[in-house]
A and B are shown apart, each in its own frame.
Chain A
Amino acid sequence: MSGQQQQQHHQQQQQQQLPAVAAAAVAPAPGVVLPAPTPVSAGSSPAGPAAVSPVGGAGSGGGGGSVGVGVGAGAAALLLHPPPPPPPPATAAPPPPPPPPPPPPATAAASPTPSISAAASSTGGATPAAAGSSAPAPFPHGDPALNEQEKELQRRLKRLYPAVDEQETPLPRSWSPKDKFSYIGLSQNNLRVHYKGHGKTPKDAASVRATHPIPAACGIYYFEVKIVSKGRDGYMGIGLSAQGVNMNRLPGWDKHSYGYHGDDGHSFCSSGTGQPYGPTFTTGDVIGCCVNLINNTCFYTKNGHSLGIAFTDLPPNLYPTVGLQTPGEVVDANFGQHPFVFDIEDYMREWRTKIQAQIDRFPIGDREGEWQTMIQKMVSSYLVHHGYCATAEAFARSTDQTVLEELASIKNRQRIQKLVLAGRMGEAIETTQQLYPSLLERNPNLLFTLKVRQFIEMVNGTDSEVRCLGGRSPKSQDSYPVSPRPFSSPSMSPSHGMNIHSLASGKGNATHFSGFESCSNGVISNKAHQSYCHSKHQSTSLNVPELNSINVSRSQQINSFTSNDVDMETDHYSNGVGETSSNGFLNGSSKHDHEMEECDTEMEVDSNHLRRQLCGGSQAAIERMIHFGRELQAMSEQLRRECGKNTANKKMLKDAFSLLAYSDPWSSPVGNQLDPIQREPVCSALNSAILETHNLPKQPPLALAMGQATQCLGLMARSGIGSCAFATVEDYLH
């Protein structure tokens, strides 16, 4: 059939398409032979069988309480903390405030979750297609009923297989017109299969595979096939096969091929001879095939009734497959377009519970208290890392821990971080040089990065050097409105962080958490701990309710990863500038710190401006900026001489200088550099470098652990370990 014909055919089929009829719940199975009339009827055995009455009927109670799962208290400490945040993606950066620049062309592509937009659904799985997959777009546009069906399919697949990243592993949605034997005809959007060969011998058998293999991240996968007509002999096979298995055969006959056949009810496990398996099936029956990717088994259903395990030890990456062998045989597939006859979600619930119980019961070491101590250390190190000194101090006090870093040191880092995040790079560099004299000397690349940022902040009008020159930066330039997590970002080292993040954000909310055997114990948190953690927080005498209220309003625009700590910071940076914020910095720890107060007042002044101007509009500032640019250029050349070529540095400088090429740098194509969120990676790199000089980890173990867990789930999905479907890191974060 040529492409054109096929197209026509499609359209015809669309016209004909009827709403799918769900098979009757208990359609009598015509394959089951009715019993022969038995001469020995009940009447001839006068007493009949005495009633079978279950003995326990009068209530013999099974004792056994509920399966209480309580892991030690410590675990919940994790729960209040956010997962590693995505590093600011270069393309998807939130546009700076007014006037909004034209959106960068790549923004849409970076949207982390495949959206269920009309556009996406009308092309039938547009997401994978857009991602460059070979998924055909099976449906022409324009048919509202079809679109509706597509939307329902999308909704159902999302609900059934939330862990599947369709960018990476698209789900089967129809039969493949490319991956079939010539005796197979497809119609009704490639969902209906009919036989069009001679059907004389088994050599005339023909099969078709679905467009994609079953992704392991489904955990449990299910599809149904309705027998529209059994044709001449009803030699139909329903099952699974690997890519490349001969299509001139029925499923089950060859290696890596598995099938259940209607004529004899036998199962075929990569063999020409079948095993007795289930009842026969014929016209009107709905046969379901369920693949359990956790234990690699498969069972079938007939008209909604499970028939029991058919295959074990299945290989990965199998495709749904059907095969027909005699004329007149017609079957319809349901990959989720319609509700299933069998209650697959109930089966999935059972496995979700099993996997989660496995996680909850994971042994956490035999020495008492060890687990709790470890969790406390993780929490404490997280607090210290980000410089929440008051909280860290209070937490350490109440959990009898010692903080490895001196308090003064934490406060120093905190000060520097704050300066960077406020865009006051000059001061930040100066302070760093004062406090850690040899640090930047030993890290010329870091110094260069800081200076480039300083240049950008000069353009922005926020750097102190230009500000003292009378430049005033409008509110919008300095405020920090969009970033929900100014401090979380620094927690990631750029190298590792990026990696984890691309994964986490790519999956959207579908990141998973499972397979604890293979990942670090430290990652596992437990709800039992939540209350514990809470109380610790309260003991630091923070005004928790107030923070929570902020939380609520904020979380709408942010995302679900909110937690108290983070939002405290958010509050400060987003609002602190605009309000007369006496909130103090960082959990109130520095409330009485003179320097900090000074800092706040200065920032307040900034907030009164309305218009954005280069370097805050001051001519002197512009000159200073240009001078600084020359110095930077010189530094770059010197660096190259001393350390060799560095493309990253080169690009950084080029991008920064490009800002000057536009009359309005903020709305220019390179304008996103001016976004305050871009301060985060710089801040993070500096913080990590300082910590390293103290022999402290570059990133907090907590963030590392969560990153590992997220990474691990992705790895499981790619390695065909299905249990990743039923655990997500998010499940353990609230």
Chain B
Amino acid sequence: MACLLETPIRMSVLSEVTASSRHYVDRLFDPDPQKVLQGVIDMKNAVIGNNKQKANLIVLGAVPRLLYLLQQETSSTELKTECAVVLGSLAMGTENNVKSLLDCHIIPALLQGLLSQDLKFIEACLRCLRTIFTSPVTPEELLYTDATVIPHLMALLGRSRYTQEYICQIFSHCCKAPDHQTILFNHGAVQNIAHLLTSVSYKVRMQALKCFSVLAFENPQVSMTLVNVLVDGELLPQIFVKMLQRDKPIEMQLTSAKCLTYMCRAGAIRTDDSCIVLKTLPCLVRMCSKERLLEERVEGAETLAYLIEPDVELQRIASITDHLIAMLADYFKYPSSVSAITDIKRLDHDLKHAHELRQAAFKLYASLGANDEDIRKKIIETENMMDRIVNGLSESSIKVRLAAVRCLHSLSRSVQQLRTSFQDHAVWKPLMKVLQNAPDEILVVASSMLCNLLLEFSPSKEPILESGAIELLCGLTQSENPALRVNGIWALMHIDKIMSTHGKQIMQAVTLILEGEHNIEVKEQTLCILANIADGTTAKELIMTNDDILQKIKYYMGHSHVKLQLAAMFCISNLIWNEEEGSQERQDKLRDIGIVDILHKLSQSPDTNLCDKAKTALQQYLA
């Protein structure tokens, strides 16, 4: 809303800067400090809730003067405080206001102000900092540039309930990356903030709770610490559970459910702990209900999807709780036809959240159906669900498309569904479309799904191949993203006689991956692919004639990582297997490049698995 107003205001400012606005700024330059103070106070009263006035004053250069007065040693504390209040009020306006303030280097000035002894002034600075840091235009890094800031903020936590509220709010907004978590953690955030959870002030409790949710997110170190923290003789998880109670404000229930979810996902709380099974999960399901606000429903579904993702038992419980699967179907009904007619405001609100709702529902369906066949069936049998997901594949919002692909991928793990629903709804068609020119994050999931659709028993296999999948997959094998390359090769492998037609591209992709700096898992997968390829005659030839590849295999046989050694050994075994055509020549060639020596070495390996494999391979030579 505010942004829309911005342009006209600017224009009006240029043309008709009101005399009164200028008057306010002029008074800041009065030689009499008493008059300056009165001027600032009058300015404060003039700008409250008046975005136009705020913009005027900024254009007229009030900010640098206010900052000057705020930092000036000769200014009285009262004047400094009033300046901070006015600046805070300006920051409350539009995003452009905040940008202007940032351009004037307001943050260092306010942080400097925190060193004052005067509590009122400190609170005013913190309130202004809070407003600025919670704005989306402020880079959170600004909080961490000066290393002394965080410890000082920690120390200020003890000063008053306002410092507590503002500082916690700043932390929870500026903690967006693992290194932020680490900095805050190392400065004792957990100990300093934990006792605020029992504060008498609701706002303090709430902001402290938010701090813990961002600190614990994907952070085992913080999470493991949190489970053992005692506040007033109670363990932190117990306190979170109390905050989940159904008579607590929704915001509090939702945030404490997030805390417990993140702690669980970080491994600090077991997935079968009653606080997860009987408290957190039901609470998150409730957050998905129709009674909740759209924002709450989005957050609830996303958090629940994250909580149950790795655990089939939680998926089963969630699937029977409060008709969740049917409840989620309602996420697709925005904007409803009723809202369009009756209420424009409501329509606007619905439209804004429609995408978010759909992607949240897809994510949660993906998690629900990740492992259990019955749940997948229930999801697919939900009213028009396959249509909805398929439609989701072609939505404009990338977030929705990604979530829809994830959801389909999860459902495509079912053989039965592959043969029925997926075929009935010709899922492969929109999928192939998604695969064209999609960003990598979508491609990774979509190509994974394609792998499933290309399996031998999948009825979609033929039409997919006919619609040019091979070219597409070959394209993937050349991608810079190793995950995509592996998926590409993996999908290709399921195609009959692929080596005779596209052997070259595949070998090239394999070489690229094996050469590149990729993680162990990717390389292991690739070597396995190679081993699989080495099962067919054409492919064997392709490998044997490719010295490059042979050298790679040899290299990985001597790799420090056992998994990779084993995978390379698979390739060798397949190549030298006696009963197959041309095995003699391959054995000889491999002996020439020194494979036998390595096999002897490996047969002495302390790893029994590797040792056995090496011995078996050597026997092929003896026979």
Point out residues on A near B: beta carbons under 8 Å.
25-26, 28-29, 32-33, 35-36, 38-41, 44-59, 61-62, 64-67, 278-279, 302, 304-309, 343, 346-347, 349-350, 352-353
Q: How far is the CB of B605 from chain A (nearest CB, A)?
A: 25
Mark B208-235 against chain A: 1 for CB-CB distance below 8 A, else 0: 0010011001100000000000000000
Contact of A49 among B173, B218, B313, B406 (CB under 8 A): B406
Bound complex: CA of A221 vs CA of B296, how far in Å?
29
In the assembled complex, which residues on chain A have CB atoms less than 8 Å from the CB atom of B373? Answer: 35-36, 38
Main secondary structure on A side of the interface with B: loop
Q: How far is the CB of B44 from chain A (nearest CB, A)?
A: 22
In the assembled complex, which residues on chain B have CB atoms less than 8 Å from the CB atom of A54? Answer: 258, 299, 302-303, 305-306
In the assembled complex, which residues on chain A have CB atoms less than 8 Å from the CB atom of B217? Answer: 57-58
- Whether the pair B321, A305 counts as a contact (CB closer than 8 A) is yes
Bound complex: CA of A508 vs CA of B313, how far in Å?
47
- Whether the pair A26, B367 counts as a contact (CB closer than 8 A) is no
Interface positions of B from 88 to 106, Cβ below 8 Å from A: none
- Whether the pair B172, A47 counts as a contact (CB closer than 8 A) is no
- At the interface, yes or no: B118 with Cβ under 8 Å from chain A? no
A45-B449, A349-B246 given; A62·B323 CB < 8 A = no
- Whether the pair A306, B246 counts as a contact (CB closer than 8 A) is no
- Nearest A residue to B446 via CB reads A47
In the assembled complex, which residues on chain A have CB atoms less than 8 Å from the CB atom of B279? Answer: 343
Bound complex: CA of A525 vs CA of B273, how far in Å?
44
In the assembled complex, which residues on chain B have CB atoms less than 8 Å from the CB atom of A350? Answer: 246-247
Interface positions of B from 264 to 294, Cβ below 8 Å from A: 272, 274, 277-279, 282
Q: How far is the CB of A43 from chain B (nearest CB, A)?
A: 9
- Whether the pair B525, A35 counts as a contact (CB closer than 8 A) is no
Contact of A59 among B213, B313, B370, B371 (CB under 8 A): B213
Q: Which of B1-9, B187-195, B409-417, B465-473 lies on the face that meets chain A?
A: B409-417
Bound complex: CA of A12 vs CA of B293, how far in Å?
56
- Whether the pair B415, A46 counts as a contact (CB closer than 8 A) is no
In the assembled complex, which residues on chain A have CB atoms less than 8 Å from the CB atom of B295? Answer: 62
6 contacts between A and B (CB under 8 A): A39-B455, A49-B406, A57-B217, A59-B213, A305-B321, A343-B278
- At the interface, yes or no: B448 with Cβ under 8 Å from chain A? yes
Bound complex: CA of A26 vs CA of B311, how far in Å?
14
In the assembled complex, which residues on chain B have CB atoms less than 8 Å from the CB atom of A26? Answer: 272, 274, 277-278, 313, 317
In the assembled complex, which residues on chain A have CB atoms less than 8 Å from the CB atom of B323? Answer: 307-309
In the assembled complex, which residues on chain B have CB atoms less than 8 Å from the CB atom of A308? Answer: 321-323, 327
- Whether the pair A29, B316 counts as a contact (CB closer than 8 A) is yes
Mark B172-215 against chain A: 1 for CB-CB distance below 8 A, else 0: 11011000000000000000000000000011000000100110
- At the interface, yes or no: B556 with Cβ under 8 Å from chain A? no
Bound complex: CA of A730 vs CA of B367, how far in Å?
48
Interface positions of B from 388 to 420, Cβ below 8 Å from A: 406, 409-410, 412-415, 418
- At the interface, yes or no: B452 with Cβ under 8 Å from chain A? yes
Q: How far is the CB of B549 from chain A (nearest CB, A)?
A: 20
Bound complex: CA of A57 vs CA of B447, how far in Å?
27
Bound complex: CA of A278 vs CA of B323, how far in Å?
8
**Of residues A32, A55, A307, A353, which shows the largest number of chain B Cβ atoms within 10 Å of its Cβ?**
A55
- Nearest B residue to A33 via CB reads B374
In the assembled complex, which residues on chain B have CB atoms less than 8 Å from the CB atom of A343? Answer: 278-279
A58-B175, A58-B176, A59-B173 given; A25·B302 CB < 8 A = no
- Whether the pair B452, A44 counts as a contact (CB closer than 8 A) is yes
- Nearest B residue to A58 via CB reads B176
In the assembled complex, which residues on chain B have CB atoms less than 8 Å from the CB atom of A28? Answer: 313
- At the interface, yes or no: B320 with Cβ under 8 Å from chain A? yes
In the assembled complex, which residues on chain B have CB atoms less than 8 Å from the CB atom of A278? Answer: 320
- Whether the pair A49, B246 counts as a contact (CB closer than 8 A) is no
- Whether the pair A349, B313 counts as a contact (CB closer than 8 A) is no
A58-B217, A64-B251, A352-B247 given; A46·B306 CB < 8 A = no
- At the interface, yes or no: B445 with Cβ under 8 Å from chain A? yes
Bound complex: CA of A29 vs CA of B316, how far in Å?
9
Q: A51-B309, A52-B367, A54-B306 are in contact. List 16 more A-B contacts (CB 8 A).
A: A28-B313, A33-B374, A35-B372, A35-B373, A48-B448, A50-B406, A52-B309, A54-B258, A278-B320, A302-B320, A305-B282, A305-B320, A307-B322, A308-B322, A346-B245, A346-B246
- Whether the pair B247, A349 counts as a contact (CB closer than 8 A) is yes
- Whether the pair B317, A305 counts as a contact (CB closer than 8 A) is yes
- Whether the pair B406, A279 counts as a contact (CB closer than 8 A) is no
- At the interface, yes or no: B164 with Cβ under 8 Å from chain A? no
- At the interface, yes or no: B139 with Cβ under 8 Å from chain A? no
- Whether the pair B444, A52 counts as a contact (CB closer than 8 A) is no
In the assembled complex, which residues on chain B have CB atoms less than 8 Å from the CB atom of A307? Answer: 320-323
- At the interface, yes or no: B574 with Cβ under 8 Å from chain A? no
Bound complex: CA of A732 vs CA of B59, how far in Å?
54
Bound complex: CA of A83 vs CA of B332, how far in Å?
53
Bound complex: CA of A568 vs CA of B554, how far in Å?
101
In the assembled complex, which residues on chain B have CB atoms less than 8 Å from the CB atom of A302? Answer: 320
A58-B214, A353-B247 given; A25·B277 CB < 8 A = yes
- Whether the pair A40, B452 counts as a contact (CB closer than 8 A) is yes
- At the interface, yes or no: B331 with Cβ under 8 Å from chain A? no
- At the interface, yes or no: B487 with Cβ under 8 Å from chain A? yes
- Whether the pair A50, B210 counts as a contact (CB closer than 8 A) is no
Q: How far is the CB of B534 from chain A (nearest CB, A)?
A: 18
A35-B372, A57-B262, A59-B173 given; A47·B321 CB < 8 A = no
- Nearest A residue to B307 via CB reads A54
A52-B309, A62-B295, A64-B251 given; A46·B320 CB < 8 A = no
In the assembled complex, which residues on chain B have CB atoms less than 8 Å from the CB atom of A39? Answer: 415, 455
In the assembled complex, which residues on chain B have CB atoms less than 8 Å from the CB atom of A29? Answer: 316, 320
Bound complex: CA of A32 vs CA of B175, how far in Å?
42
- At the interface, yes or no: B363 with Cβ under 8 Å from chain A? yes
Q: How far is the CB of A596 from chain B (nearest CB, A)?
A: 48
- Whether the pair A306, B309 counts as a contact (CB closer than 8 A) is no
Bound complex: CA of A59 vs CA of B413, how far in Å?
33
Q: How far is the CB of A454 from chain B (nearest CB, A)?
A: 57
Bound complex: CA of A53 vs CA of B372, how far in Å?
21
- Whether the pair B415, A38 counts as a contact (CB closer than 8 A) is yes
Bound complex: CA of A278 vs CA of B282, how far in Å?
16
In the assembled complex, which residues on chain B have CB atoms less than 8 Å from the CB atom of A57? Answer: 213-214, 217-218, 258, 262, 306
- Whether the pair A47, B413 counts as a contact (CB closer than 8 A) is no
Bound complex: CA of A48 vs CA of B247, how far in Å?
40
- Whether the pair B321, A306 counts as a contact (CB closer than 8 A) is yes
- At the interface, yes or no: B441 with Cβ under 8 Å from chain A? yes
Bound complex: CA of A32 vs CA of B315, how far in Å?
12
A54-B303, A59-B172 given; A25·B278 CB < 8 A = yes
A35-B371, A278-B320, A353-B247 given; A52·B363 CB < 8 A = yes
A40-B413, A61-B134, A304-B278 given; A52·B366 CB < 8 A = yes
In the assembled complex, which residues on chain A have CB atoms less than 8 Å from the CB atom of B406? Answer: 49-50, 52
In the assembled complex, which residues on chain B have CB atoms less than 8 Å from the CB atom of A59? Answer: 172-173, 175-176, 210, 213-214
- Whether the pair A49, B455 counts as a contact (CB closer than 8 A) is no
Bound complex: CA of A307 vs CA of B320, how far in Å?
6
Contact of B451 among A44, A56, A65 (CB under 8 A): A44
Bound complex: CA of A352 vs CA of B418, how far in Å?
49
In the assembled complex, which residues on chain B have CB atoms less than 8 Å from the CB atom of A33? Answer: 374
- At the interface, yes or no: B334 with Cβ under 8 Å from chain A? no
- At the interface, yes or no: B483 with Cβ under 8 Å from chain A? yes
- Nearest B residue to A62 via CB reads B251
Bound complex: CA of A593 vs CA of B525, how far in Å?
104
- At the interface, yes or no: B490 with Cβ under 8 Å from chain A? yes
- At the interface, yes or no: B169 with Cβ under 8 Å from chain A? yes
- Whether the pair B249, A67 counts as a contact (CB closer than 8 A) is yes
Bound complex: CA of A310 vs CA of B467, how far in Å?
48
Bound complex: CA of A57 vs CA of B327, how far in Å?
23
- Nearest A residue to B207 via CB reads A61
- At the interface, yes or no: B69 with Cβ under 8 Å from chain A? no
In the assembled complex, which residues on chain A have CB atoms less than 8 Å from the CB atom of B486? Answer: 46-47
- Whether the pair B246, A347 counts as a contact (CB closer than 8 A) is yes
Bound complex: CA of A34 vs CA of B163, how far in Å?
53
A59-B210, A66-B249 given; A45·B321 CB < 8 A = no
- Whether the pair B444, A53 counts as a contact (CB closer than 8 A) is no
